[in-house]
Structure 1
Amino acid sequence: METIDKKALSERDICTKYITPAILQSRWNIYTQVREEVTFTKGRIIIKGAHVSRGEARRADYILYYKPNIPIAVIEAKDNNHGVGDGMQQALVYAEMLDVPFVYSSNGDAFLEHDFTVKSGLVEKELQLNEFPSPEVLWKRYCAWKGIDETKQPIVTQNYYSDGSGKTPRYYQHIAINRTIEAIAKGQNRILLVMATGTGKTFTAFQIIWRLWKSRTKKRILYLADRNILIDQTKTNDFKPFGTAMTKIENRQVDTSYEIYLSLYQAVSGTEEWKHIYKQFSRDFFDLVVVDECHRGSAAEDSAWREILEYFSSATQIGLTATPKETKDISNIHYFGEPIYTYSLKQGIEDGFLAPYKVIRIDLDKDLTGWRPEKGKQDKYGKDIEDRIYNQKDFDKTLVIEQRTQLVAWKVTEFLKATNRFDKTIVFCEDIDHAERMRQALINENADLVAQNRKYVMRITGDDAEGKAELDNFILPESRYPVITTTSKLMNTGVDAQTCKLIVLDQRIQSMIVFKQIIGRGTRINEDFDKFYFTIMDFKKATELFADPAFDGEPVVIYNPEPGGPPVPPEDSDDSSKRIKFVVSDVPVKVVAERVQYYDKEGKLITESLKDYTRATVRKEFASLDSFLNRWSKAQKKNLIIQELEGHGLLLHALEEEVGRDFDPFDLICHVVYDQPPFSRKERAEAVRKRNYFARYGDKARAVLNALLDKYADEGIENIESMEVLKVQPLDRFGTPLEIINIFGGKDKYLAALRGLETQIYMAEA
């Protein structure tokens, strides 16, 4: 019998010949319980000018499931040149992300087990290949750890809904669903889930309700939201599988024959007793109430939602929010308890499920210095203007400077003209009056496109039926119009605008809740419509809130209810019609500062200089120039080093814009990080030609290498390392990729020639 040399086997071979057989020998079902090479994130989006790429996605070698909805173990494999435990630290990272307690590393000789359920004793121990635990053994340990007895297991093991299309919950949705189901199984009746906008709260809620409904743990369910569009989207999209068991409460007379009820809280409550539709239901009619966007009305003790929640107090109640509301007067946590799971904007961007953003801060002179009217100054309508200094707090609230509005509209239009004039855009204004004036200014700046379609610019505010009727068209990716919308508060939450690429802040925002919700309008990704990132254009310093630790931090309870405290106004209220406003048309306004800011790997806005940030980012990986040069020279593909650094937060395109587009990543890094003189790509290419490096090759091979060098000079190292370069001009004139490779005597020799060319390009004396 032939002896297998384990050291010569690849990692995949080790999996096939040793790890998988060991798992199957322990009675794991290969079809329903074992998944190999599971990619569970998308890879962070990296923006390079007009081009977008993704960082490396997280991929586990194995995930083991007790049932399809319950991941229970992670295995990280290594080839046999590694130790048994060499994959453990990577596996532990995956296990924490996936919320699984059993973690294994193997090189094909044995398994190293790390058991999160062990509180004392051997947390880690080595197991022989034939000692890998069975599904029943791990499930028993899992249930003991979670406190799930046999009576609760049918609830916990109920499958999620699947329509056969292959769509399953993402890893973080799995965690939110499972933790909620487990908490309810154990008798918890108030539950809070915090999930960033765009991460699928409604789909998560549907799967929770489905599993509880199917297991008959909960038989009658009320789903509450505060926007009609949210209810309608939910009914026709995520909740559609409930079919005829579901109804939307719309009339004053309710039908109690359904099991799933969807409702606006405004539709089931009111100040007058006869409007209280929900009182037509008995107090114990619902055994589950789910409140979407519960940061809004429901958190206040005197709100309509709280009244409904208290009426159905015997029901299990789940709150879903992107922004837990924590103020002196209002608290979600005080009502629902601490979140049982939080999936943040920062994590969503890091995982590649949410769109990253850049910020353009624009400072206007009057915003910085203020404006004081001369004595006796009247506004354009003849009103005497009160003599005082007006500043940014006043603009568009008590004082309208028309030239300021025109300048903002011009800057927005200038940006769209430089990018794409049909990119969906939301302009957030101070109030309805400001939104209307901004609409007029934007129409005048875009008269050519408005002439083609009057709906190119629309105001969408709560008081305007015509504008509100266009909200669905703005949201719908397939609908071209409207393109630019102006609003005050109507669109700051619950608007699933997947293709919104520009958010303009001409609104002074003091509330972290409102700020998070507004930013959430741009965080959705839609690859079909080329939406991978978005831009925030800030005229009123609102993005300073990015620096607040609370922007992406855990909520802190600061609730301190006071009897007879101030009532909380509705968040869509607009008191602009009640305020006295002065309007001046003859006050000039100009831009005094404009700068682009980027967010770092941690989701925080970079406030230091881009060069300082680059130095710090690269030096974390390469402390010295020698360490960088050594790694660069040994790399088979230079692009892999570039991708690795970008994954750690290097903003290469931004650096090119600041330092120079003629330099490739090698020179940008050497110059900015290690103070070396940079050489342009053309200078490096010319130096290679002077060395007569190509003389060793035949005529055809020389011509190919010359063309590759030209390509490097024009486009950079990343392009010539890809085999795709052989399919495009001018390389394609030498034949097909296979024919070009054969000029060199095969693929290995072609790649060797390419590596030789790269060595010449980066020789120090360039």
Structure 2
Amino acid sequence: MSININQNPEQIARDRIDKMLVHSGWLVQSKNEIDLFAGKGVAVREYQTDVGPADYVLFVDKKPVGIIEAKREDEGHRFTVVEEQSSKYANAKLKYLNNDPLPFVYESTGTITRFTDYRDPKPRGRAVFWFHKPETIAEWLKKEKSLRARLRSMPALDETGLRPAQIVAINNLEHSFKKNRPKALIQMATGAGKTFTAATFVYRLLKHADAKRILFLVDTKNLGEQAEQEFMTFQPNDDNRKFTELYNVQRLTSSYIATDSQVSISTIQRLYSILKGEELEESAEQDNPNESSWLKSKMSEKKAIPVEYTPRVPIEQFDFIVIDEAHRSIYNLWKQVLDYFDAFLIGLTATPDKRTFGFFNENVVSQYTYEESVTDGVNVPYDVYTIETEISQKGETVKAGWFVDRRDKLTRKKRWQQEDEDTEYKRNDLDKKVVNPSQIRNIIREYKRALKTTIFPNRSDENGDYEVPKTLVFAKTDSHADDIIKIIREEFDEGNDFCKKVTYKIEEDPKSVLNRFRNSYHPRIAVTVDMIATGTDVKPLEVLLFMRDVKSVNYFEQMKGRGTRTINKDSLQLVSRTANSKTHFVIVDAVGATKSKKTDSRPLERQPSVAMKDLLGAITMGVAEEDLFLSLANRLIRLEKQITDKEKDKILELSKGKNLKQITKELITAFDQDAINEKAQTKIDKIPIEDRTPTRVEETKKKAQEELINEASKTFNGEFNDYLENVRKIHEQIIDHVNIDTVTKSEWDTNSVDKAKAVIKDFNAYLEANKDEIKALSIFYNQPYNRREITFKMIKEVMEKMKLEKPLLAPDYVWDAYSQIEEVKSKQPKDELTALVSLIRRACGIDSKLVAFDKTIDENFKNWIFKQNAGKHNRFNKEQMQWLRMIKDHIVSSYHIEIDDLDYTPFDNQGGRGKMYQLFGNDMEIVIDELNKVLVA
């Protein structure tokens, strides 16, 4: 609808409101032409009431249901005052009708609209993008209570099968709903069951609050598929059917949203494209939006076109929106999707930052940290193993006169040339400016050695072949990943299946490779850049090898989260046969990632897959988008560090005196709100006070930003752009095959050693605290002479109590802690109860060093036999020795033997107690008693 610029502001607002009403399915009629039979929803202008004419009265199925109070655009800031006026009309009597108060009340300028449902407990106005459809209001009226009233009467949560943190999150979230808080944030550690928590409260909202439809919003296709699987397997406590048998779940793969689906799963990219009426490119859902190549298409627009009202997806389409990984996909372009819907917003994230807290109005209903999840046994802890090499730390120099390969970063095409000058490279230049294969090789070679000797030493099979734990390597770039994979296969002497790349750029189906990595024996090692850095479960992972640094604290925490998942012993051994249990994971830090300074500020790069020449061209042609300006600024920051003094002089000449730092600053300042406000304020101060209307102030700010954008843009032109692009292109990678690297450090990180000491201290303290309560511990500490009486059942009691009260103190983990702080020569026993006995003996001082209890028994048995034979030539015959060894083996697994045990396996197959008596006569009980005493000494 075109708007006449000569119209007064009130009429302009009315015209906009008419347009909005028509688009959302209302028939707009004047008070003199009323026909309530004309349609389901009728909006009558200037309808007379007993307190004066209401701007609009809304009728549904011929009954009055609500009013709209129309205001000029410059009165939008006064809406909280206007509410009193609109409420007066809502409670008035309409001409000809003896109506009750009208429940649905809007205030609108046609640009800003607020809505109050007076059926709500403590009715509170809220901003809405558009008007609700008449069909929606008809549905609302059929229900006895409003949604917000229904939320107040939800039954208590059945806590069966839920972890304490999940119970807290759901109860607090529902309390937030009862308070009518529009946004809520659940912070829950990676691996603590965020999606299961979401499935639980989604089920309750559908069943007990009669929610119409709920949106589960993700930012990658991968996360959407995982969420769909979670809903498919979820079974509520109060029903023996699966969630998907009770409610329809639809994962959106097109623009069609099924009318009969109660849960819709969608990427935020897809929903944005649906609201814009655009087709979505297949690649759009692969990476999270801040890294997506799809943003390239936005560059053809002069500015980010805002979302517009879409009748087939009205604002009331969803009652609740659950935003997974809410720390990264709720800003800028994507925020419009969330602003569009009239819905409660629930954020899920393990790693919120300041912006996340701000977006959710600081309404954090639940905080469950990684440290808490480890203490509760929900996640596993980690240790850090550091590998450093000479070149990784200090860099090197490619000398003039050397013949070296130069490789194109993108095509990998090589050319051979003799260097005409020295090229010095630092640690940060590695795998960018220079690739040193020896540096990569020495890290991988040392990783292989440390795995076998220190990190996971007990992983050899019955043939003595070492089994590499499932390892994920984080590479800097796609070409870096290729270099790493080639060297891993060579150093481990393995084929293609052993080590695979998992990125969207591989020729194989990445999902298939990822599933094999997760569920099959091969690959043992996967190398990725970003695809499985966040949000992807690979439970059997035991090592994360960092060969790239990460500056974002959130991103680093997400990457660490890949290793935190727990997995039961049987599932782990399906893919890692020699693993006993997953008690922890190890970060192998080859680049100082665990020590480098981290920031929670947003990354500048928003368009990483867009060619720099396209960024330059778009700005030259007048495209003014924040993403575009910040992306180019980031490229120029990097370029400024690479170029020579001669190249810097040429840039000054072509840019009319601006260096790259100044150009970069102008690009960033153009969208810096503080800079815009500062520039605008100087103009606002010149406006007479009586003319400083909100509209005038906003126009002044808009003009100030336009000036900053123009100042930043005018530097760019064809000649300047070509020079920048050519300067960037000539920076190929030098392949330094000449300088050979050496490992300078390979050890547990000092923090890991401190953590190991703390684990041992905690273990000792727990045993000490329980030594009088648990019988086995009481004997170890207080009655060492009675150790022969300790039975399998007693040790199992210790184990079960520890698992319940101190899940972190698993024998595997405590054993590894001892291995970090003292020389442990014997291998950890395969049986965790045997390992526990070994640890208890070490803790209470029976053994001065940690020794495997089965080896102690073996040693004590040898010594006992030797003493028995001393002075007597072979006291025991061959058959008697066979029985003595069977008794020894029984004590290894059961810690004690009774006469009655001779009636069971393996003794019964050899003739049982009768046979032993036949062999040992009256010495039988003496031998058994002596072995019970001697072997556990």
Q: TM-score, normalised by structure 2?
A: 0.50
Kept in 2: contact 1:475–1:498 (CA 8 A): no
1:394-543 mapped onto 2 (5 Å cutoff): 394-411=429-446, 421=467, 423-445=469-491, 448-450=494-496, 455-464=497-506, 466=508, 468-474=510-516, 476-477=518-519, 479-527=520-568, 528-530=570-572, 532-533=581-582, 534-543=585-594
Please state how far the C-alpha of 1:523 moved relative to its aligned partner.
2.4
SS at match of 2:203: helix
Per-residue deviation, 1:493 = 0.8
User: What's the RMSD between the two structures over aligned residues?
Assistant: 5.4
Measure how far apart 1:384 and its partner are. 5.0
User: Which residue of the partner structure matches residue 752 of structure 2?
Assistant: 606
Shifted more, 191-200 versus 246-255: the winner is 246-255
Deviations for 1:600-622, whole angstroms, at most 9, x for unmatched residues? xxxxx533496797478637855
Match of 2:545, as an amino acid? V
Is the contact between residue 156 and residue 185 of structure 1 (CA under 8 Å) also seen in structure 2? no
What is the letter of the counterpart of residue 286 of structure 1? F
* 1:580-619 pair list within 5 angstroms: 580-596=732-748, 605-608=751-754, 614=760, 618=764
Q: Distance in 2 between matches of 1:432 and 1:208?
A: 40
Query: Among 892, 897, 908, which residue is 1:735 paired with?
Result: 908
Deviation by residue 1:457-503 (Cα, 9 ceiling, x = unmatched): 322224345353534433551x4554432111121012122233332
1:194 matched to 2:187? The reply is yes
Residue 486 of structure 1 aligns to a residue in which SS? strand
Deviation at 1:196, TM superposition (A): 2.0
Aligned partner of 1:245 in structure 2 is: 248
**1:124-135 equivalences in 2 (<5 Å):** none
Residue 350 of structure 2 corresponds to 322
What is the distance in 2 between the residues matched to 1:219 and 1:282? 13
Maintained 8 Å contact 1:671/1:677: no
CA contact (8 A) 1:370 1:392 kept: yes
Give the count of matched residue pairs: 567
CA distance in 2, matches of 1:283, 1:385: 65
What CA distance in whole angstroms lies between the structure 1 residues aligned with 2:170 and 2:925?
49
Higher gyration radius (CA): 2
Partner Cα separation in structure 2 for residue 286 and residue 377 of structure 1: 66
Deviation (angstroms), 1:543: 3.6
* Structure 2 counterpart of 1:499, one-letter code: P
Aligned to 1:294: 326
Quick one: structure 1 residues 719 and 541, their matched pair in 2 at CA, closer, same or farther if it must change by over 3 Å?
farther
Distance 1:278 1:480, change over 3 A: farther
Secondary structure of 1:191 counterpart: strand
Cα gap change, 1:206/1:675 in structure 2, threshold over 3 Å: closer, same or farther?
closer
Q: TM-score by structure 1 length?
A: 0.60
Extract unaligned runs of 5+ from structure 1: 1-148, 161-166, 558-563, 599-604
* Paired position in structure 2 for 1:29: none
Aligned 8 A contact 2:151 2:177 in 1: no
Structure with more helix by fraction: 2
Instruction: Check 1:710–1:586 CA distance in 2 against 1; reply closer, same or farther (3 A cut).
Output: farther
Maintained 8 Å contact 1:727/1:737? no
Q: Which runs of no fewer than 5 residues in structure 2 stay unpaired?
A: 1-147, 234-242, 274-297, 407-416, 453-458, 461-465, 574-580, 603-625, 640-727, 772-777, 829-837, 918-922
Secondary structure, in 3 states, of the residue corresponding to 2:321? strand
Which residue number in structure 2 is paired with residue 223 of structure 1? 216
Per mean C-alpha deviation after superposition, the further-off stretch among 171-180 and 409-418 is: 409-418
1:44-123 equivalence runs, <5 A:
none
Residues in 2 aligned to 1:191 and 1:741: alpha-carbon distance in whole angstroms: 73
The offset of 1:247, in angstroms, is 2.6
Q: In the alignment, what sits opposite 1:310?
A: 339
1:178 aligns to 2:171 (yes or no): yes
Alpha-carbon distance in structure 1 between the residues aligned to 2:426 and 2:768? 47
Using the alignment, how far apart are the partners of 1:741 and 1:639 within structure 2? 30
Report if aligned partners of 1:439, 1:458 keep a CA contact under 8 Å in 2: yes
Residues 80-133 of structure 1, C-alpha deviation per residue, up to 9 Å, x if partnerless? xxxxxxxxxxxxxxxxxxxxxxxxxxxxxxxxxxxxxxxxxxxxxxxxxxxxxx
1:297 aligned counterpart, secondary structure:
coil
Residue matched to 1:89: none
Deviation at 1:225, TM superposition (A): 0.4
Partner of 2:196: 203
Q: Which residue of 1 aligns with 2:675?
A: none
**Would the alpha carbon gap of residues 231 and 367 (structure 1) be closer, same or farther in structure 2, given more than 3 Å must change?**
same
- CA distance in 2 between partners of 1:332 and 1:631 (Å): 57
| Counterpart for residue 111 of structure 1 | none
The one-letter code of the counterpart of 1:468 is P
Partner secondary structure for residue 430 of structure 1: coil
- Describe the SS at the equivalent of 1:470: helix
**Correspondence 1:371-390 to 2 at 5 A:** 371-375=396-400, 379-381=404-406, 382=417, 384=419, 390=425
Q: Residue type matched to 2:219 in 1?
A: D
Relative to structure 1, the CA distance from residue 377 to residue 357 in structure 2 (aligned partners, 3 Å threshold; closer, same or farther) is: same
- Structure 2 CA distance for aligned equivalents of residues 219 and 296 of structure 1: 27
Kindly provide the CA deviation profile for residues 250-270 of structure 1, in whole angstroms up to 9, marking residues without a partner as x: 334655564422111111226
Structure 1's 465 and 612: CA in aligned 2 closer, same or farther, altered over 3 A?
A: closer
CA contact (8 A) 2:250 2:264 kept: yes
CA distance 1:152–1:332, shift in 2 (3 Å): closer
1:719 aligns with 2:893: yes
* Per-residue deviation, 1:725: 14
Q: Deviations over 1:724-759 (max 9, x none)?
A: 99999xx96643699459979xxxx99999786555
- C-alpha displacement of 1:179: 2.4
> 2:371 is matched by which residue type in structure 1?
K
Q: Which residue identity lines up with residue 541 of structure 2 in the other structure?
A: C
Partners in 2 of 1:182 and 1:556 — Cα distance? 32
| Shift in CA distance, 585/245, structure 1 to aligned 2, threshold 3 Å | same
Structure 2 CA distance for partners of 1:487 and 1:610, relative to 1, 3 Å? closer
Are 2:316 and 1:265 aligned? no
Q: C-alpha displacement at 1:208, in angstroms?
A: 1.0
Retained in 1: the 8 A contact 2:471–2:524? Answer: yes
For 1:352, the aligned partner's letter is: G
Q: Decide whether aligned partners of structure 1 residues 209 and 610 sit closer, same or farther in structure 2, where only a CA change above 3 A counts.
A: closer
Hey, what's the Cα distance between the residues in 2 that align with 1:201 and 1:384? 55
Q: Answer with 238-247 or 361-370: which moved more.
A: 238-247
Equivalent pairs: percent with the same residue? 21
Distance 2:571 2:268 in 1: 34
Q: 1:319, CA displacement in angstroms? A: 0.6
Residues 35-91 of structure 1, C-alpha deviations (whole Å, 9 max, x = no match): xxxxxxxxxxxxxxxxxxxxxxxxxxxxxxxxxxxxxxxxxxxxxxxxxxxxxxxxx
Distance 1:584 1:253 in 2: 54
Q: Is the 8 A contact 2:387 2:446 kept in 1?
A: no
CA distance in 2, matches of 1:186, 1:503: 43
What does 1:10-49 correspond to in 2, within 5 Å?
A: none
Alpha carbons of 1:674 and 1:415: their partners in 2 closer, same or farther (altered >3 Å)?
closer
Which position in structure 1 is the counterpart of 2:660? none
Question: How far 1:174 moved relative to its partner?
Answer: 3.0
Show CA shifts across 1:525-547 (max 9, x none).
333332642443321232448xx
Q: CA deviation at 1:593?
A: 2.6
Deviation at 1:289, TM superposition (A): 0.9
Give the distance between the partners of 1:708 and 1:754, measured in 2 at CA. 11
Task: Output one character per residue of 1:655-692: Cα deviation in whole Å (capped at 9) or x when no partner.
Answer: 36823229954674477997999998366445656777
Aligned residue in 2 for 1:343: 368
Deviation at 1:295, TM superposition (A): 1.9
Maintained 8 Å contact 1:719/1:725: no
Partner deviation per Cα, 1:578-597 (whole Å, 9 max, x = no partner): 76433211221222332246
